[in-house]
Structures are given as C-alpha cells and as structure tokens.
Structure 1
Amino acid sequence: MGKDSAENIEKLKLFSKYIGIAYQIKDHLKDSLNVSETGKDQFLDQTNKKSSSFLYLLESVEAKKLLDCYKSLAIDTLLKIDLDFSTLQEFIELFFAFTDI
C-alpha cells in the first residue's frame, strides 16, 4: 500500500502541474478577448508587462494546441491513478468546454 500511495502522490503532482499549465494558457488566451467576453480589459497582461505570456511567446493557434495538449496530459495522468477521480475528470472537461477560446 505504501508504494502505491507514493506512486499516486507523484501522479497527482504531475496532474497538478499539467492542469496548472493548461489553466495559465487558457487565462492568457482569454486576456486576448474583448472585455465583454471576460469582464476584464483586453490585453491587460501585456499592459502589465507580462511578456512571458504563452500568447505572446506563441501564436494564438499554437497556444490553443498547447492548451489541449496539457489538458489531455492532465486527464491521462489522472486516469493512471488508482483511485476514482471520475467526478474530477468530468469537472475538468466541463471547465475547459465552457471556457472555450
């Protein structure tokens, strides 16, 4: 049981990393939308000198591909954990579906 728990913890850490990166990419993509769609000023990150944004480092299309990649990596990692995370998986799918860019 101890080994399995340690492996699950490492997988959860990896899941957290992937879902965090996916969220950041989504946030940077949303920053490029107009204020009526997000509730915040357009290009606020750029105005605040956040030049390391995924959107500014990559083209928008490439950033969207990277977002999909990290979301998939997060879900794939979650499915490898020996626990039932079906509700969390559904939440992730819905969260990213309702915030499509």
Structure 2
Amino acid sequence: MRPSPFSALIALQLLLVACTQFPELDAAVSERAKAADYPELVNVGPILARTADTGPAPEVQQSNLESRVAALRNRAERLKRTRVIDSPARTRLDEKPGAND
C-alpha cells in the first residue's frame, strides 16, 4: 500500500521540524539575573480582599445587563420597522441592470 501524497507531505514537514536548531535559552538570561535572589512570596489574601469590595454588587450588575438587553431589543425592533430606503430608491435598486439600455 502506497502512502498518499498528503501523508508524505506531512512526514516531510515533521522531518524538517525535527532538524530545527533551537536558540540557546540559557544565554538569554543575564548573569545579574542569575545571581539575583528569588522573589519574596506574598500572601494573596489581603490583595484579594481589597479587590472584592470594588464595583457594583452582582445583583446590580445583573439588573444593569437585563435593562441594557431590553433597551437593545427595543432598538432592534424600532429599526426593523423603519424604512431605510425610500420607494423611488427601492424601485431603482430592484430594476434589472441594462433594462434601460
């Protein structure tokens, strides 16, 4: 059974990728960074407590979203009922091209 051209192409691409030379990542870190101390670990509890009290309550957010959705739905309904193109323009658009030639 012969391999399909598609599978042969994929195999060729995999072989080419396998031969790729990767950059030396250790050389990207400076000696100063290597000699630096590890960062101090900090308890995230106080940080999270400060952020928990900001912004409106979830119930208020839900109410705001529901009112925005209702307003957008009303606007969409108004736009559906509005005629954007007047009758003469609609007639011209509906005419077949070349009919007046």
- Both proteins in one fold, TM over 0.5: no
Question: Where is the helix percentage greater, Structure 1 or Structure 2?
Answer: 1
Bigger relative contact order, structure 1 or 2 (CA pairs below 8 A, ≥6 apart): 1
Instruction: Answer with 1 or 2: which has the greater Rg.
Output: 2
- TM-score, normalization by structure 1: 0.29
